[in-house]
Amino acid sequence: MKKKYKEIISFRIYYFLLLLLGFYILPGCKSKNSKREYTIGFSQCVGSDQWRKTMLEEMKRELSFHPELKLIYTNAENSSATQVQQVRSMLRNKIDLLIISPNEARPLTPIVEEAFSQGIPVIVIDRKTSSSLYTAYVGADNFEIGKIAGAYLVNKLDEKGSILEVMGLSGSSPTIERQRGFYHALKNYPNIRIVKQVYGNWLINEAENEVNKIGVSSKQIDAVFAHNDQMALGSYRALKRHNPTNKIKIIGVDALPDNGLKYVANNIIDASMLYPTGGKEAIRTAFSILNKEHFDKENILKTVVIDSSNVQLMKMQSDKISSQYRDIGRQQGRLKEQEKIFNNQQILLNVLVISLVLAIVFAGVAFYSLNENWKSNKRLESKNQEIQQQQNQLLEMSAETKRASEAKFNFFTNISHEFRTPLTLILVPLEELVADTKLPLTVKQHLRLINKNVIRLLRMVNQLIDFRKIEYDKMKIRASENDLIAFTTEILDSFKDIASKRNIDMRLNSTEKKPMVWFDVNMFDKVLFNLLSNAFKFTNDNGRILITIQKDEEKKEIEIKVEDNGVGMTEESVLHAFELFYQGESYQSKGSGLGLSLSKEIIQLHKGVIDVSSKKWKGTSFCIRLPLGDAHLQEEEKLARTPEININYDNIKLYTSDLDQDPSKEDQALAFENIKEQSLLIIEDNSDMLDFLKQKLANEYEIFTASTGNGGLHEAFERVPDLIISDVVLPGQSGTDLARVLKNDVRTSHIPIILLTARGSSEQQLEGIKTLADAYITKPFNLQHLTETIKNLLDNRNLLKSHYTSEYQGEGKIPVSKKLDKKFLNDFAGIVESNLGNENFNVDVISKSIGISRVQLYRKVKALLECNITDYILNRRLQKAKYLLMNEDLSISEITYQVGFSSATYFSTVFKSKYNCTPSEFKRKKDTS
Ligand code: FRU
């Protein structure tokens, strides 16, 4: 919560700083964009002469005050056609305003009108078009200029004289207007005449040529009016050539400081009419038009005559103006520089401010991250400490466990040592007793059982001690080089008897004749004994055990394989097969969980490996691989002398005795075969336990046995015993599965079942009871408790009988097996009732209609009704006869027929034996009463 709050605050700080940055940067951007930019197209008819250059300079100077105005400039070089094209291209390029000085009026009029009609403002400067469709005009009054020039010459020539007029371009408006103004000034002075007119097209050279051509002399003309100063200079040069001394008055137009003014000052020409370019005024007017400010359409510029009387003054003025312009230029240059510096500083400032803001933001982020980092480091540190503590605790606990298990193991080993002597002392006299032929058979059987189990105990004790020696005392092997085949054969010999008794096909296959292998004979024999003993334990009679020995030259190993086709192991058991004390399922439950662990330890001491592969119900295969040669052994692990192979008798006894079946088993079975009132089926895979129970219960009950779940099921259906005792853990179907099947089958549902197992957990008991087993007894059990339970369950059948035959059906749930039994009895009674009149009716008819065998039917009826079927049928016939005699008016022979007796005499005999009177006597008694 606190963390989230902090995050929100820091996010707000960043947001605020960014806003600040925005506020700082945005106004700058805004001020730059506030003035709209415009493009002015300026089409000049000619650009090379000084007057036009001055015009352009003036424009540029004025534009420098308006940076938002951009100028596109074209120069048509005295060509009207070129100028039209240039203007058209400007219009295409979307200019905002057009300034034009048309070369000639007529050719340029249409394009100017077109621009004007498109809505583009047009400023006509100096020269005009033939139309009034323009936005503004800037320029001096050329008619006025012509007029002033005329008046000046009238005065200078004392109203008498001849004049040569050198005119500009014929189609351009100043030519036309200046000429008209000049005429107008002279028309009232008849003694002044224009004797010659030539077109100089505004150019020096052309004027000089034209004047040259006419070859005038001072006698013929007194004065020249040239329409500009350039042509005045050209005329001067031509006239000078022809009349070097004569003084002809020459006047021009424009009065530019470096041209006209200079010519006047140097007496080249006599006067010049000031003709301002209007560049500055044109830009000012354009600015007003574009910014929608007030402007005048006609902007007529002033003119004045400059001659020797005022030329100096004018020159001074113009010099001053020029120097002021230069100052302005310089100021502007500086301004630009300042602006540049300002811009650079502005950029620098922006960068600085942005950097500062970013630095603050990053510092904030860095501080926040640092803080978080510090906190998470703190958290990690405390977590680390916690883990370290836990680790230490675990280490302590594991050391403690190790100590405890070592102590436990030590205890077991010590106890084992203690056990070994008494067990051996028990064993010796016991063997003598077993060998005593005088003892009764039952005593002998008990002694054999004791003997087997003492040996089993001794074997476990020995294995425990061996294991301890290897594991904790780091016992070393004492290996010698031996013939492995001879060694194995000798061990196999110990199992020969058992193999032949149980018809097990035991074979040794080898690719080698005499493979010499280094091993400790006193240890390795235990491994082989253990593997073979296991193979025999879990292989059924008539099975197969195969021992294979083969060399792997490449790996320099020898492989000893012990394979059987016995009950096999589950995948889970295979995984744990070599674990100490592992007893996962029935396979291991026959052993102590020590033998295979010990074998593995012994093989590892030999630097070999042992592994197992197995498939449930298919068989098991153990494979040992031992290295060949003695390179893998240390010197102290090798015996100097090879001992003679002498298989330890004790080992033979320890590993083979409990595989041996009781030799008197068959006789014993016969001895018990007396027909008994009630029968029991015992299902148990431990043959000793089976024999024990059989022996203890055979006196009272007929005993059937089975050693697997499936065998038990088969026997139950086949024999229909009065009670079943079954182990829970069985090869094949478990005892609980078996109980479930039997209780759900009409043929066996009535049979009480006792489940017997070594597992005593309450869940397992509950599971057993859920299967409808009638009792659950855990091993080790008290025999008396078992026999009492058997008795009780069998006695209870009488109670059951009354339950089944009573008409009352309880409201509570009846277990499935009892429901089945009730249905069976209903069916059975129904069949009997409907067949009472059938004299051929017998057990076969019932067994066929119910669908179970005669024996099953017989046993079931016996169990549920405690009578045999024939008696039951006879009884029902007699009861019906009694009823008919009492309630129906029928003759004896009719009743005889209706209750299924073949003859009246037989009916009478049977009736009498039951009711102590003949049917006729019974009828009579009833009639009289
Ligand atoms: C310059 C010029 C000037 C003259 C004007 C007339 O090109 O010839 O000398 O006054 O044009 O348009």
- Can you tell me the distance from the alpha carbon of 456 to that of 676, in angstroms, rounded to the nearest whole number? 35
Ligand 1 atom having least distance to the Cα of 254: 10
DSSP string computed for 125-162? ESS--SSS-SSEEEEE-HHHHHHHHHHHHHHHTTT-EE
* Residue ranges in the chain modelled with pLDDT below 70: 1-34, 216-219, 246, 473, 582-592, 643-647, 649, 660-675, 758-771, 797-817, 929
- Can you tell me the distance from the alpha carbon of 759 to that of 928, in angstroms, rounded to the nearest whole number? 71
Q: Is 95 in the pocket of ligand 1 (CB under 6 A)?
A: no
Q: Which two tokens stand for residue 747?
A: 């043929």
Q: Taking the C-alpha atoms of 50, 56, 57 and 58 in order, what is their torsion angle to the nearest 10 degrees?
A: 110
Q: Is 174 in the pocket of ligand 1 (CB under 6 A)?
A: yes
Determine how many CB atoms are found less than 10 A away from the CB of residue 620: 26
Q: Is 126 in the pocket of ligand 1 (CB under 6 A)?
A: yes
Q: What is the pLDDT of residue 670?
A: 43
- Can you tell me the distance from the alpha carbon of 285 to that of 299, in angstroms, rounded to the nearest whole number? 9
Q: What is the pLDDT of residue 20?
A: 56
- Can you tell me the distance from the alpha carbon of 631 to that of 637, in angstroms, rounded to the nearest whole number? 11
Pick from 43, 49, 202 the residue to mutate for probing ligand 1's pocket: most ligand atoms within 8 Å of its CB.
Answer: 202
Q: What is the pLDDT of residue 810?
A: 36
Q: Taking the C-alpha atoms of 354, 357, 363 and 366 in order, what is their torsion angle to the nearest 10 degrees?
A: -70
Beta bridge partners of residue 563, listed in sequence order: 546, 621
The answer to whether the CB of 181 falls within 8 A of the CB of 147 is yes
Ligand 1 atom having least distance to the Cα of 168: 8
Q: Which two tokens stand for residue 334?
A: 């500086």
The answer to whether the CB of 545 falls within 8 A of the CB of 536 is yes
Which of 313-318's residues contact partners 24+ apart within 8 Å by CB, and which partners?
Answer: 314/255, 314/261, 314/274, 315/257, 315/261, 315/265, 318/257, 318/261
Beta strand pairing call for 516-519 and 480-483: antiparallel
Count Cβ atoms within 10 A of the Cβ of residue 587 and give its class: 0-12 exposed, 13-18 middle, 19 or more buried.
buried
Distance (angstroms) between ligand 1 centre and the Cα of 228 equals: 6
- Can you tell me the distance from the alpha carbon of 927 to that of 54, in angstroms, rounded to the nearest whole number? 170
Q: Is 254 in the pocket of ligand 1 (CB under 6 A)?
A: yes
Distance (angstroms) between ligand 1 centre and the Cα of 202 equals: 6
Distance (angstroms) between ligand 1 centre and the Cα of 144 equals: 15
Beta strand pairing call for 38-44 and 69-75: parallel
Q: Which two tokens stand for residue 759?
A: 């597992």
Pick from 51, 225, 235 the residue to mutate for probing ligand 1's pocket: most ligand atoms within 8 Å of its CB.
Answer: 51
Determine how many CB atoms are found less than 10 A away from the CB of residue 560: 26
Q: What is the pLDDT of residue 816?
A: 58
Distance (angstroms) between ligand 1 centre and the Cα of 45 equals: 10
pTM: 0.43
Q: What is the pLDDT of residue 122?
A: 97
- Inter-axis angle of helices 735-743 and 762-770, to 10 degrees? 20
Count Cβ atoms within 10 A of the Cβ of residue 645 and give its class: 0-12 exposed, 13-18 middle, 19 or more buried.
middle
Q: For atom 4 of ligand 1, which residue has the closest CA?
A: 228
- Can you tell me the distance from the alpha carbon of 668 to that of 178, in angstroms, rounded to the nearest whole number? 165
Q: Is 52 in the pocket of ligand 1 (CB under 6 A)?
A: yes
Q: For atom 8 of ligand 1, which residue has the closest CA?
A: 202
Q: Is 49 in the pocket of ligand 1 (CB under 6 A)?
A: yes
- Can you tell me the distance from the alpha carbon of 733 to that of 731, in angstroms, rounded to the nearest whole number? 6
Q: Is 752 in the pocket of ligand 1 (CB under 6 A)?
A: no
Pick from 50, 275, 277 the residue to mutate for probing ligand 1's pocket: most ligand atoms within 8 Å of its CB.
Answer: 275
Q: What is the pLDDT of residue 105?
A: 95
Q: What is the pLDDT of residue 364?
A: 92
Instruction: Tell me how many degrees the CA angle 18-22-24 measures, rounded to the nearest 5.
Output: 115
Q: Is 127 in the pocket of ligand 1 (CB under 6 A)?
A: yes
Q: Is 166 in the pocket of ligand 1 (CB under 6 A)?
A: no
Beta bridge partners of residue 123, listed in sequence order: 99, 136
Q: What is the pLDDT of residue 668?
A: 43
Distance (angstroms) between ligand 1 centre and the Cα of 287 equals: 25
Distance (angstroms) between ligand 1 centre and the Cα of 221 equals: 25
Q: What is the pLDDT of residue 805?
A: 45
Q: What is the pLDDT of residue 903?
A: 86
